[in-house]
């Protein structure tokens, strides 16, 4: 080998080494020109150039795929975010997002307001038309709600038929205006799957007082105000006031106390006679609950029934009353009554009436105590019969089929029950106290009550007049053909012991 050839080889090896270093450093676009001597070094150079080419292509592909995968990841993340922050049914914000927005609002210089609304009568729609119609109704309501606020405000579904709106910046007038608009847009009926549904909403409003204040309690306060609105009248609006919070706390405490009262024997059942106007004999009793409260004394149902209904305790309470009254009547049957016809009336909340096992529970209870189904009559308050829903109808039919009596309570004060009466789902009507008082002196009253009695007889319903307080009223009732009565004139609700004395006297 000549010296020149040796130098040339060393240079080429140097170049080759430099090229390898460059490739190894990731500069894949580097190339080395072969010397065209077609020797082994050139073969290596050509090979390395091809490798670089190939690597470059692979990297390019890889980059493309990394970009693609990264985009997919971002999409998935966004979808997850949406899922975590939105209500799947309506696409509205969910509770989590609403809380986040509330925290954002704390940092802004605006005065926020929160509205919470709960649909009235949604459960009845769901129960009678099915969940599909219920869902479609919620979607329609969501759309209407979105239309009453600005894009920057947040409309959320909190669950069930409860919605919330966070208005990012509003004067009290503007917030109340939104509440009013909600009522207006919901007033138009919603037609879903050929069914016309009427809804309304009770709205609670929590007004912000200054920018940047804590919003932790806004949702809870608006909720409290909403309950307040609902309790007053359906479809109403209430603005939160601190007194409402105290009231809500008191209700929570009452609910806790009632729960334990049920199991510690603080509840008692009183019995008010139902009298045959022709003989003045007690032919039935109505069982009425009282609560012997350890601090507050004797409480009547108006102080605790709505709490019992809101918390679902009403089911246990009504069944306990039924159980107690049935056991009592069974004892009276054995001790004093013999075979004389005698019925015990129990009041049943519409919530309880629609419970799945209700009819079985009633029948089972009479059987266990050796009573006939005819010995028990279930009273349901007229204005609380929720429209014409399937569950209520089934329960009434079930009771009738089993032989248990059904009476409509407070008859003449509501509007929904004539349908039930006409289709023979009931046996008796209890003419409301307001139609009985002053019957003997008020001619107008006399005409109305007479008409109601004519109607009751036309449908084969046995009328029982409630709240009879004077001999004059009792006489007037006899004259217009009302056979049965109940009221202070004969007796207030009394203890089992007192009623038993009366039954014994009657027998003697």
The answer for residues whose C-beta is within 8 angstroms of residue 296's C-beta and 6 or more apart is: none
What is the footprint of ligand C2E within residues 183-212 (CB under 6 A)?
Answer: none
Q: Does 463 bind ligand C2E (CB under 6 A)?
A: no
What 3-state DSSP class applies to 475? helix
Tell the smallest beta-carbon distance from residue 413 to ligand C2E (Å): 10
> 97, 201, 288, 385: which one contacts ligand C2E (CB under 6 A)?
288
**Near Ca ion by CB under 5 A: residue from 257, 318, 409, 500:** 409
Binder among 59, 233, 300, 415 for ligand C2E (CB under 6 A): 300
End-to-end Cα, the chain, rounded Å:
148
DSSP letters, 286-327, are EEEEEEEETTTEEE-HHHHHHHHHHHTHHHHHHHHHHHHHHH
Residue 236 vs 493, nearer CB to ligand C2E? 493
Q: Is 90 in the site for ligand C2E (CB under 6 A)?
A: no
Nearest-approach distance from CB 364 to ligand C2E, in angstroms: 18
Judge contact between 117 and 141, C-beta under 8 A.
no
| One character per residue 18-47, x = contact with ligand C2E (rule: CB under 6 A) | ------------------------------
* HSE of 25, CA atoms in CB hemisphere, 13 A: 9
- CB 423, min distance to Ca ion, A: 22
Q: Is 70 in the site for ligand C2E (CB under 6 A)?
A: no
Closest to ligand C2E by CB, 85 vs 123, is 123
Paired residues of 468 in beta bridges: none
Pick out residues in 330-389 that bind Ca ion (CB under 5 A).
347, 379
> Which range touches ligand C2E (CB under 6 A), out of 35-43, 295-303, 412-420, 439-447?
295-303
The only residue of 87, 118, 410, 500 in contact with Ca ion, by rule CB under 5 A:
410
**Residue 428 found at the interface with Ca ion (CB under 5 A):** no
3-24 vs 40-85: helix crossing angle, rounded to 10: 10
Buried-exposed string 120-144: b where 16+ CB fall within 10 A, e elsewhere: bbbbbbbbbbeeebbebbbbbbbeb
Secondary structure of residue 478 in the 3-state scheme: helix
Judged by beta carbon, residue 155 or residue 282, the one nearer Ca ion is: 282
HEC per residue, 386-398: CCCCHHHHHHHHH
Q: What's the min distance (Å) between Cβ of 269 and ligand C2E?
A: 7
Backbone angles phi, psi at 271, to 5 degrees: -125, 125
Interface stretch with ligand C2E, choices 65-73, 130-138, 345-353, 442-450 (CB under 6 A): 345-353
Name the DSSP class of 461: P
Q: Which of 272, 366, 377, 417 binds ligand C2E (CB under 6 A)?
A: 272
> What is the DSSP track for 104-118?
HHHHSSS--EEEEEE
381 contacts ligand C2E (rule: CB under 6 A): yes
**CB under 5 A: which stretch of 189-197, 210-218, 410-418, 435-443 binds Ca ion?**
410-418
Give the C-alpha separation, 154 to 157, whole Å.
10
Q: Which of ligand C2E, Ca ion, none has residue 202 at its interface (CB below 5 to 8 Å by kind)?
A: none
Pick the closer one to ligand C2E by CB: 145 or 321: 321
The nearest distance, CB 467 to ligand C2E, in angstroms, is 4
As a three-state string, the secondary structure of 21-44 is HHHHCCCCCCCCCCCCCCCHHHHH
The angle subtended at Cα 248 by Cα 267 and Cα 172, nearest 5°, is: 155
The tokens for 313 are 């305790």
Binding residues for Ca ion restricted to 460-499, rule: CB under 5 A? 466
Site for ligand C2E in 244-263 (CB under 6 A): none
Contact status: 410 vs ligand C2E (CB under 6 A): yes
Q: Which of 112, 121, 463, 467 binds ligand C2E (CB under 6 A)?
A: 467
CA angle 160, 166, 171 (to 5 degrees): 140
Which segments of 224-361 are extended strands (E)? Answer: 237-239, 267-276, 282-293, 297-299, 343-347
Q: Give alpha helix (H) positions in 86-217.
A: 95-107, 122-129, 131-148, 172-187
Is 266 in contact with 254 (CB distance < 8 Å)? no
Beta carbon of residue 387, minimum distance to ligand C2E (angstroms, whole number): 19
Listed ranges 119-127, 218-226, 238-246, 300-308: which one lies at the site for ligand C2E (CB under 6 A) = 300-308
**What secondary structure letter does DSSP report for 86?**
B
What is the closest distance, in whole angstroms, from the C-beta atom of residue 411 to ligand C2E in the complex? Answer: 10
The residue ranges that bind Ca ion (CB under 5 A) are 347, 379, 409-410, 466
Q: Which residues bind ligand C2E (CB under 6 A)?
A: 272, 288-289, 300-302, 305, 318, 321, 347-349, 379, 381, 409-410, 433, 467, 469, 487-488, 493
């Amino acid at each position: 080998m000549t010296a020149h050839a040796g130098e040339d080889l060393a240079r080429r090896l140097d170049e080759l080494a430099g090229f390898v270093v460059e490739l190894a450093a990731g500069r894949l676009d580097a190339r080395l020109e072969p010397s065209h001597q077609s020797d082994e070094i050139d073969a290596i150079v050509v090979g390395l150039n091809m490798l670089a080419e190939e690597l470059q292509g692979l990297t390019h592909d890889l980059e493309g795929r990394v970009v693609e995968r990264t985009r997919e990841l971002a999409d998935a993340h966004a979808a997850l975010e949406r899922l975590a922050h939105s209500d799947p049914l309506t696409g509205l914000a969910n509770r989590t997002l609403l809380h986040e927005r509330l925290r954002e609002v704390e940092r802004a210089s605006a005065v926020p307001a929160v509205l919470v609304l709960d649909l009235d009568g949604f459960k009845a729609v769901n129960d009678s038309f099915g969940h599909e119609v219920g869902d479609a109704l919620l979607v329609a309501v969501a759309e209407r709600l979105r239309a009453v606020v600005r894009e920057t405000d947040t409309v959320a579904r909190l669950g069930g038929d409860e919605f919330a709106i966070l208005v990012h910046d509003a004067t009290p007038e503007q917030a109340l205006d939104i509440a009013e608009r909600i009522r207006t847009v919901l007033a138009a009926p919603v037609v879903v799957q050929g069914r016309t549904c009427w809804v309304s909403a009770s709205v609670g409003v929590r007004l912000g007082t200054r920018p940047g204040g804590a919003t932790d309690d806004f949702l809870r306060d608006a909720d409290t105000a909403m309950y307040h609105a609902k309790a007053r009248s359906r479809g109403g609006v209430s603005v939160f006031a601190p007194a409402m919070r105290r009231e809500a706390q008191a209700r929570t405490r009452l609910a806790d106390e009632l729960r334990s009262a049920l199991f510690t024997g603080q509840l008692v059942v009183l019995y008010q006679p139902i009298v045959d106007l022709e003989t003045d004999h007690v032919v039935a009793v109505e069982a009425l609950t009282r609560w012997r409260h350890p601090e507050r004394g004797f409480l009547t149902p108006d102080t605790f029934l709505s709490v019992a209904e809101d918390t679902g305790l009403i089911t246990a309470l009504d069944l306990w009353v039924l159980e107690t009254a049935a056991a009592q009547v069974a004892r009276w049957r054995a001790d004093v009554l013999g075979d004389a016809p005698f019925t015990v009336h129990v009041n049943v909340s519409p919530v309880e009436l629609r419970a799945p096992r209700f009819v079985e529970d009633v029948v089972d209870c009479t059987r266990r105590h050796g009573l006939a189904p005819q010995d028990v009559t279930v009273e349901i308050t007229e204005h609380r019969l929720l429209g014409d829903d399937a569950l209520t109808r089934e329960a009434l039919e079930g009771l009738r089929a089993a032989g248990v009596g059904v009476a409509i309570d407070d008859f003449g004060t509501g509007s929904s029950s004539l349908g039930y009466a006409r289709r023979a789902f009931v046996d008796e009507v209890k003419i409301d106290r307001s139609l009985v008082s002053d019957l003997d002196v008020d001619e107008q009253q006399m005409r109305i009550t007479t008409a109601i009695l004519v109607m009751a007889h036309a449908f084969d319903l046995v009328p029982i007049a409630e709240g009879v307080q004077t001999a004059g009223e009792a006489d007037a009732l006899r004259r217009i053909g009302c056979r049965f009565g109940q009221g202070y004139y004969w007796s207030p609700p009394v203890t089992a012991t007192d009623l038993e004395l009366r039954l014994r006297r009657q027998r003697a």
